[in-house]
Structure 1
Amino acid sequence: MLRHLIIRFTVLFAVTILSVSSFGTANAAQDMTTAWTDEDFASVRLISAQTRTNGSDTLRLGLEFELQPDWKIYWRSAGDAGFPPQLDWTGSENIGDATILWPAPHRFSIFGLETFGYKNQIILPIDVAIPNPDQPVSVRLNVDYLVCSDICIPASANFNLDIPAIAADSSASVASNQAHQIEKFVSRVPLRGTDLPISVNSITAQSGSEQPVLRLGISGLTDADVSVDDILIESDLRAGFGMPTAVSQPEGSSSGLSYFELPVFGLADGQSLDQAALTVTVIAGPLSIEQPVTVGTVKSLTASSQIGASPADTTSIWLIAIFALLGGLILNVMPCVLPVLSIKVMSVINMRAEDTKHVRSGFLASAAGIVTSFWLIAAALVAIKLAGGSIGWGIQFQQPLFLTVMTIILAVFALNMWGLFEISGPSELGNVANDAITDQQSRGRHLSSHFLTGMFATLLATPCSAPFLGTAIGFALAGSLFDIFLIFTLLGVGLALPYLAIAIRPGVARLLPKPGRWMNVVKIVLGLALIGTAIWLLGILSVQIGFGGAIAVGGGLVAGSLFVWARSRTEKLRPRFAFTALAVTGFLVALFAPGFAKPPQQATVARSNGQLEWQAFAPDTIPALIANGKTVLVDVTAEWCVTCQVNKKLVLETSEVARALGADNVVLMQADWTRPDQEIADYLASYGRFGIPFNAVFGPDAPDGILLSELLSVDAVLDALQKAGAGDGAKIAKGGA
């Protein structure tokens, strides 16, 4: 039974003897390696176990990765995200088929995603066929690989390695100095074939009341004196398999087998595992085996436990769809949408004098812009999810580049609203401009402004989280790719419903006052509103890149705006060109300033916020605090989350709530998600949340926590404090006896 292990250890011993003996003979063994290709996150090189072909029809190479801490590459079956290294042998000579021998990987679990790969150092052994064993080998290898940590980065490397047919020095060893290192990783490649030391003897699919599972019976564990660490399943089906769990021996089953169950995810409705061909890799300490199997009889599934259920198995997709529509609709009146209200108002005012057809098409174009922007957000989140990264609602506001670009756009919109872009130059230039505008309108380009208005409003609305929105977003981001696109489409439709309503009844737009001089005043006011929004974004930016960096961005915007104003004050062509160039320079300074700014340190100590004293975010300490009789309020917030700020001002910092939160047995714990933070992202995901605000109350009577709505109310907070065991303070604050 242990024949394979004995053979493997014999090979290792022989290679070791070759390596050791090389030290006693000059030039007995040589290095056979390329130079390292270095990246910030990994170093890669190609090595060979052989210094010459020596008449062999196979060449063993090794692709060696030295990965920085917390970075990983992927196994041949990456799992729910990522992809393995891709090899391109174009340009190689005397090279046939190449086979990667994949060492047993590690499992990485994050946000419900299961991926498989390697950390630290890994050598992927590669067996390459040599068509003409008597000729030298010229290796020209291009490697594309994906390396991931908190983010995923694609990289590539090119290697040239020439292996002679016969060594110039007859005393040189065939085995290179790298042969031993390659064989160390060959020993980690799962065993295959017959008469394996451990093997899968039975495999069936079971459908329980809650979760479909795959049950395996494995023999030989006792004799080999190993225990199972992990079981990996590969198949052509679009299904995922979770971590194995040891279970008791089923009644009437064969003795001598150890049984394990793996949860099954992602099969389509009606799809079955019956007679499915799978490849099972069992990892048991230093021993691993790979075995093709065929699933036996599959029990019929009930309607309540079908394989492929979404993360919210008991939740109707239609109910989630209603939540998405309501969440998008309510988003129109959330505080963070108020800064873009000016854009909506101006679009309605400008269409007041237009005919019904143009009013309808304009609002339909705005609705299309909203839905399209939600599709773009969904596509970006899907890309991040496939790459194994963190996803969440409003996370683009954590990116300094996004904030800077949005700030510049707001400033430009304000300048345009104030008429500083009106063409007032020579008549010839004006005629050209008028002709161009007429031509664009004849092509239907007048709709583009309405379309972009919808897209821009959506981008600025995403920091908000409204009632029903959090439930829908959590369902989508924890579900399949179809779930993400479905829910985000419905969210876009919900946000666009007011536009669609006016498109259906365009006469509503005609109820607005007739255009006149008053519109100039409105434009000034609304332009100031846009500038106010830009200043708000600069405040968020200062948290991410520091106050000095935000000042540099603001200074660039002010300089650019002044030169735009100066350009509008002259009709001479040369000064206009000069002021245009200077304005562009100012905006470029604003755009690139964050790249030269030094981000401030994250706060790790307690801080005061008005009437409240907040402790630094430390979720691991919550159980100990509860054990000491404390009640803990967790608040996940961000500078870019307007709803979070409204919750604080209108609820948490009111006298009633502040009095209850100031009790001796209440601990306030705050997490600042203004900048990306993996710990906070993981914490939110553990509660099925992917956006903020997030508030929860923990206490002796509620150790698992009471989750609060995205929009807080005084009664809801006081009720949660009382239920969690905060004592009489919350009851008295609420007005109880």
Structure 2
Amino acid sequence: MLRHLIIRFSLLIIFLALSLGATGVANAASDMVSKWVDEDFASVRLIGAQTHINGSDTLRLGLEFELQPDWKIYWRSAGDAGFPPQLDWAGSQNVGDAEILWPAPHRFSIFGLETFGYKNHIILPIDVAIPDPDKPVFVDLNVDYLVCSDICIPSSASFTLDIPTSATGTDGASTSIISNQAHQIEKFVSRVPLTGDDLPVSMTSLVLDESGGQPILHLGIKGLASAGVSIDDILIESTLRAGFGSPKPGTAAGNSAEDIQYFDLAVFGLANDQTLDQQPLTITVIAGALSVEQPVVVGATFPQSGTTTAPPASPSQASTSIWLIAVFALLGGLILNVMPCVLPVLSIKVMSVINVREQDIMQVRYGFLASAAGIITSFWLIAAVLVGIKLAGGSIGWGIQFQQPLFLTVMTIILALFALNMWGLFEITGPNELGNAANDAITDQENRGHHLSSHFLTGMFATLLATPCSAPFLGTAIGFALAGSIADIFLIFTLLGIGLALPYLAIAIQPRVAHLLPKPGRWMNVVKVILGLALIATAIWLLGILSVQVGLNGAIAVGLGLVIGCIFVWARSRSTNLRPRFTFTALALTGFMVALFAPGFTKPPASAGMAKGSGQLEWQAFAPETIPALVASGKTVLVDVTAEWCVTCQVNKKLVLETADVIDVLGGDDIVLMQADWTRPDQKIADYLASYGRFGIPFNAVFGPSAPEGILLSELLRKDMVLDALQSASGNKIRSLADRNP
């Protein structure tokens, strides 16, 4: 009896397995889906509405996003920030033009910024043209998208789908080409705004009112009452760089019979020489489940009878922000003059002021104006380079040139030459047969007060040496610039240059200040020796950074080349005969050339990561993806992004992070220290900084149970700032500085 039951049960299991297997095959044929690509913040997959081509010249797909709570992706017009998903069909076969059908989005407002996109669950329908309906389709799609919450993270996903031409069932009849996902895609197709003629809701007029200072668009919409809907939002897209506020009800008497309602929308961000008058706009009206899209040209006649307009709106937050950022840029540039990384810059400034002590007023003015011009020109050059890198798709940031071995090597050689020149061992002169005419011309121009190239180059050199430093206001201004347009980058970098050049400009305005300095004398020789040593010390510091980039052997080779070059420059200065001087000059140049090319023949170290336990603190390797789990377990995490070339980072370490009060706290069991070393280029670190709107370092943030999104700290740390952030993020489990020092 038991044996019969076992046999029957086994047969039943086999039958069910075969049935489920057949069902699975059928479902696989009817479910045209890719695998989910899972991230912490979203899951994405590609789905198809058709299982076979069946002679059709169009294929409908859907890009499906399952977003975690409070995360969003962007509409085709993202608004003041963000960008929509970008599709790359390279590698696909029998795939033509593709068009995303954009469902009506939601408006997100935060800190005066207006963005548009989607939350939770969204499918973006995609219509793909099929060049040859008689051939199968292979889809190879790569999607780049930006997903944002309190931070923004760029991400990507890749999908493949195979769609055959046709298929038949066992009886020879054609099987259905509709997949199980078609209904889900069509639900979102129904949310795509209606276009064309005879719309249930349509725009009747659009005029621009600039009389109150703040431009306002007055929009008339017909059909809302007849359709039984009310306005949820009105979105405006323009080819000009402009922002548009939320719709506010307007009034117009005597038109109720025409079923026309009026709305006012404030216009933000237009340049002084721009106007929306006669400009084509695309307007999307969202009214419950109904949404319509219509192209409109600004300038239609607004009904005159009983028309009233809304009072002018207050200036936009965007306009206020750009002026505030401009002030930050000026202050950030000015503060750079007193940051710790500018010691060699100050030495050059001091010597230039001492040297102009006996010059006339106009010479002093021209010299300092030339230096200011050099500073501003350097900032323009840096901006141009960053724009080029950004357009090429690379990572950009403040001070990233110090990640390049060639830049470090050239700067080290220049510093050595400046020191030799300051000690009187190196002059820009030459044998009579090579340079007398040029030297005579330069001397003549100097005597007339018109030779300004040296002052100009001093300003440029000062800028390059100042870039390893960050400062209050500087990070905010640079973050705004590098996240914005090309115009934003050049505007902010120009203001940074003006800020750094303000001391020069001040002396140019009042050049008599230079005459308050003591008269030249023997004391200048002592000052020159000290300032020359400061320049050599800076060169040694750069060699230390270079050792991280190209390895210790490479840095030693550069240093030996510099030493050889300097020795022969000294020997040249001690010789009076032409032939030995020429020989020593050639040998000195050989030494400097060895220094210049040595990094190219060295093998860089395998990793530039910060050694665990470096200094007096135990740091973990940089792994930002582990922070949420650490916080969930009750830990408080301090993130420190640093670099060997970042002088401000080193100052923060010595004066704050490695002081007794802070070490005592950071050594606690519930504290996790996570450090990222950006001495060498690292895309992971660059992306992490960009997600917080930062493009330079120092960067410090504290995460904890009471601050899972993080507390960002200033570029210049203070002990009370760090301890208060730790206390706040931990939920007051850590005592503040005041509690520790009653």
Q: TM class, shorter-chain normalised?
A: 0.5 to 0.7
Matched, 1:317 2:322: yes
Structure-2 separation of matches of 1:329 and 1:482 = 22
Matched, 1:492 2:400: no
Structure-2 separation of matches of 1:200 and 1:554 = 60
Structure-to-structure mapping, 1:393-542, within 5 angstroms: 393-422=398-427, 432=437, 434-441=439-446, 446-542=451-547
1:253 shift after superposition: 7.0
CA shift digits 1:258-307 (9 cap, x unpaired): x9989989436276699848899xxxxxxxxxxx984699999998799x
CA shift digits 1:148-171 (9 cap, x unpaired): xxxxxxxxxxxxxxxxxxxxxxxx
Aligned position for 2:114: 211
| Residue from 79, 88, 101 that aligns with 1:118 | 88
Q: Which amino acid aligns with 1:190?
A: A
User: Do the aligned partners of residues 201 and 503 (structure 1) sit closer, same or farther apart at CA in structure 2, a change above 3 Å counting?
Assistant: closer
Report the count of equivalent residues. Answer: 540
Structure-to-structure mapping, 1:26-425, within 5 angstroms: 112=82, 116=86, 118=88, 122=91, 184-186=94-96, 189-190=97-98, 211=114, 266-267=241-242, 269=270, 276=280, 294=295, 313=318, 315-422=320-427
Deviates more, 1:313-322 or 1:525-534: 313-322
1:9 shift after superposition: 5.3
1:660 shift after superposition: 0.8
User: Do the aligned partners of residues 571 and 673 (structure 1) sit closer, same or farther apart at CA in structure 2, a change above 3 Å counting?
Assistant: same
TM-score by length of 2: 0.64
Aligned position for 1:550: 555
1:437 shift after superposition: 2.9
Kept in 1: contact 2:353–2:514 (CA 8 A): yes
Matched, 1:653 2:658: yes
User: Do the aligned partners of residues 610 and 6 (structure 1) sit closer, same or farther apart at CA in structure 2, a change above 3 Å counting?
Assistant: closer
Q: SS at the partner of 1:446?
A: coil
Structure-2 separation of matches of 1:719 and 1:373 = 39
Matched, 1:587 2:582: no
1:576 shift after superposition: 2.3
Q: Which amino acid aligns with 1:421?
A: F
Q: SS at the partner of 1:510?
A: helix
Q: SS at the partner of 2:697?
A: coil
User: Do the aligned partners of residues 524 and 668 (structure 1) sit closer, same or farther apart at CA in structure 2, a change above 3 Å counting?
Assistant: same
Kept in 2: contact 1:607–1:616 (CA 8 A): yes
1:225 shift after superposition: 5.2
Structure-2 separation of matches of 1:679 and 1:251 = 53
Kept in 2: contact 1:425–1:572 (CA 8 A): no
Structure-2 separation of matches of 1:480 and 1:302 = 32
TM-score by length of 1: 0.64
Q: Which amino acid aligns with 1:460?
A: L
Structure-to-structure mapping, 1:565-576, within 5 angstroms: 565-576=570-581
User: Do the aligned partners of residues 277 and 410 (structure 1) sit closer, same or farther apart at CA in structure 2, a change above 3 Å counting?
Assistant: same
Q: Which amino acid aligns with 1:534?
A: A
Aligned position for 1:634: 639
Aligned position for 1:36: none
| Residue from 704, 715, 718 that aligns with 1:713 | 718
1:585 shift after superposition: 1.8
Structure-to-structure mapping, 1:690-701, within 5 angstroms: 690-701=695-706
Kept in 1: contact 2:608–2:679 (CA 8 A): no
Aligned position for 2:619: 614
Unaligned runs of at least 5 residues, structure 1: 13-79, 81-105, 124-180, 192-197, 233-249, 281-291
Deviates more, 1:569-578 or 1:592-601: 569-578
Structure-1 separation of matches of 2:331 and 2:323 = 12
Q: SS at the partner of 1:640?
A: coil
User: Do the aligned partners of residues 572 and 652 (structure 1) sit closer, same or farther apart at CA in structure 2, a change above 3 Å counting?
Assistant: same
1:501 shift after superposition: 1.1
RMSD (Å), alpha carbons: 4.6
Structure-2 separation of matches of 1:391 and 1:558 = 34
Q: SS at the partner of 1:613?
A: coil
CA shift digits 1:693-731 (9 cap, x unpaired): 111111111111111111111111111111111655433
Q: SS at the partner of 1:609?
A: coil
1:669 shift after superposition: 0.6
User: Do the aligned partners of residues 515 and 606 (structure 1) sit closer, same or farther apart at CA in structure 2, a change above 3 Å counting?
Assistant: closer
Kept in 1: contact 2:102–2:192 (CA 8 A): no
Kept in 2: contact 1:340–1:530 (CA 8 A): no
1:5 shift after superposition: 8.9
1:190 shift after superposition: 3.0
User: Do the aligned partners of residues 602 and 231 (structure 1) sit closer, same or farther apart at CA in structure 2, a change above 3 Å counting?
Assistant: farther
CA shift digits 1:184-226 (9 cap, x unpaired): 344xx338xxxxxx97899999999852659999899956956
CA shift digits 1:633-661 (9 cap, x unpaired): 11110000000000010011111111111
Percent same amino acid at aligned positions? Answer: 66
Kept in 2: contact 1:701–1:723 (CA 8 A): yes
Q: SS at the partner of 1:648?
A: helix
1:602 shift after superposition: 2.2
| Residue from 549, 568, 582 that aligns with 1:577 | 582
Deviates more, 1:546-555 or 1:261-270: 261-270
Structure-1 separation of matches of 2:604 and 2:409 = 14
Q: SS at the partner of 1:601?
A: coil
1:231 shift after superposition: 10
Kept in 1: contact 2:642–2:698 (CA 8 A): yes
1:525 shift after superposition: 1.5
User: Do the aligned partners of residues 668 and 212 (structure 1) sit closer, same or farther apart at CA in structure 2, a change above 3 Å counting?
Assistant: closer
Kept in 1: contact 2:379–2:497 (CA 8 A): yes
CA shift digits 1:492-520 (9 cap, x unpaired): 11111111111111111111111112212
1:569 shift after superposition: 2.2
Kept in 2: contact 1:423–1:430 (CA 8 A): no
CA shift digits 1:88-129 (9 cap, x unpaired): xxxxxxxxxxxxxxxxxx999xx946684637x537xxxxxx
Structure-1 separation of matches of 2:430 and 2:496 = 45
User: Do the aligned partners of residues 351 and 301 (structure 1) sit closer, same or farther apart at CA in structure 2, a change above 3 Å counting?
Assistant: farther
Q: Which amino acid aligns with 1:384?
A: I
Q: Which amino acid aligns with 1:666?
A: I
Structure-2 separation of matches of 1:520 and 1:464 = 30
Deviates more, 1:378-387 or 1:693-702: 378-387
Structure-1 separation of matches of 2:462 and 2:738 = 40
Unaligned runs of at least 5 residues, structure 2: 1-48, 58-73, 128-180, 194-223, 243-268, 285-292, 303-308
User: Do the aligned partners of residues 587 and 716 (structure 1) sit closer, same or farther apart at CA in structure 2, a change above 3 Å counting?
Assistant: same
1:439 shift after superposition: 4.0
| Residue from 677, 684, 696 that aligns with 1:672 | 677
Kept in 1: contact 2:610–2:676 (CA 8 A): no
Structure-1 separation of matches of 2:349 and 2:532 = 13
Structure-1 separation of matches of 2:619 and 2:667 = 10
Q: SS at the partner of 1:393?
A: coil
Q: Which amino acid aligns with 1:690?
A: F
Structure-2 separation of matches of 1:335 and 1:301 = 53
1:521 shift after superposition: 1.9
1:606 shift after superposition: 6.0
1:615 shift after superposition: 0.6
